[in-house]
Structure 1
Amino acid sequence: MRVEYDPEAMDRSAFYRFLTSAVVPRPIAWVSTVTADGSTENLAPHSFFSIASTDPPIVQFTSIGRKDSLRNVEDTGEFVVNFSSRPLLEMINATAVDFPRHISEFDAAGIEREASRCVRPPRVAASHVVLECRSHTTLRMGNCTLVFGRVVHAAVDEDYLVDDRPSSERLRPLTKLGGDEWGTLGDVLHLSRIPYEEPGPG
């Protein structure tokens, strides 16, 4: 027997908790940005994250409300997505604190930076994959803003490459689940896509 939910009849926060527990696992964009005057570097996890286009390469994260990441992207047009892996869990969680805008999460959480190649926001030195992005467009939707960024440069720690691409098993990706739950990589299943074959004559 199913339990039925009507979003229009529910408290918004209650349905948010339901929705984020049902749509799992979600990859985490650990987004670094910088204020327009360059005085403060921001770092925050966003668990609504995906690829929006492959040609040109565009990734997308969602800001629920007007977070510092969104404001900085609007002001500068640049951001970096730092890969979230299991060994970085405590650091990532430490940057989810709602610090005032003038406080850098890099400094507050003691996270080492490294310079990016093509954009002003720094990379997280401990992150094994980084995507340097320039803002493509933003789209307001309800209480959220979708931020689309064109990937202008990418870098990967060479120890995490297999056959010239990042290895999921080596990277140990971290994901967000419902509530205070986080997920890690379980079994990796290898299954080839079945090609369509035209039926033969007769």
Structure 2
Amino acid sequence: MSTTFDLQGQHQDKAYQILSSLITPRPIAWVTTLNEDGSTNAAPFSFFNCFGSRPPLVVFAPGNREPGVPKDTARNIRRHRQFVIHTVDASVMHAMNDSAAPHPYGVSEVDLNKLTLTPSETIDVPRITEAPVALECSEHSCIEIGANRLVLGIVQRVHVREGLMDPTTAKLNTHAYAPIGRMASPNWYCTTDALFELIRP
């Protein structure tokens, strides 16, 4: 026996809750962009993943503050077409969570959370120094489907905390990297430090 939900009908208003609770764990994109005054905005999004390597393509979905009003991240990318995606581990998870709080446009979550910034190499948007991984991205395109907005980004540079990846072989130190994952809506997360290897046939 199973329970069925009709996302095009009876349960349409619960689609976000159902999908975001069941399609897990999801990686977290902690995104920095530049506000119009040059300050740095930071906000987390869990509708995010990598979708290719030729070219290196990432996609995330910044929604709206309210119907027809894009979130600050989407507004900044529309204007500037650049952003940095960071992954999140235990060392920065509280700052990431705090940066999800709603603030008036132009307020810098980086400043509020006393984070430090490092200049990027290929884009104007700086990266969060404390994050384990930072992907410098330029916007390829933005697709809007109903109330959904998908930002497609081409990754220009990847910055990885020392000790996480071999600089020569690009092999990951799996025991040193433990990103936080998003679980059931609204407030659940998971750690990724209980790993196992499964050899592909």
Q: Give the TM-score taking structure 1 as reference length.
A: 0.89
Which residue does 1:98 correspond to in 2?
102
Contact 1:173 1:185 in 2 (8 A): yes
Q: 4+ runs of 1 displaced by more than 4 Å?
A: none
Distance 1:166 1:127, change over 3 A: farther
Which residue does 1:172 correspond to in 2?
178
Aligned pairs for 1:48-197 within 5 A: 48-65=47-64, 66-162=70-166, 163-178=169-184, 179-194=186-201
> Deviation at 1:63?
1.1
SS in 1 for 2:103: coil
Structure 2, unmatched stretches of 5+, are 65-69
Question: In terms of Rg, which structure is larger?
Answer: 1
SS in 2 for 1:20: helix
> Deviation at 1:166?
3.3
SS in 2 for 1:86: coil
Q: Percent identity?
A: 28
What one-letter code is carried by the residue in structure 2 that aligns with 1:91? A
Q: Does 1:33 align with 2:39?
A: no
Supply the distance in 1 between the matched residues of 2:22 and 2:82 (Cα, whole angstroms). 31
Contact 1:52 1:148 in 2 (8 A): no
Which residue does 2:67 correspond to in 1?
none
Supply the distance in 2 between the matched residues of 1:49 and 1:131 (Cα, whole angstroms). 13
Deviations for 1:30-72, whole angstroms, at most 9, x for unmatched residues?
000002x443211000101111221011111111222111111
Distance 1:54 1:90, change over 3 A: same
Supply the distance in 1 between the matched residues of 2:61 and 2:179 (Cα, whole angstroms). 19
Structure 1, unmatched stretches of 5+, are 195-202
Which residue does 2:11 correspond to in 1?
10
SS in 2 for 1:92: helix
Whose helix fraction is larger, Structure 1's or Structure 2's?
1
RMSD, matched Cα:
1.4
SS in 2 for 1:72: helix
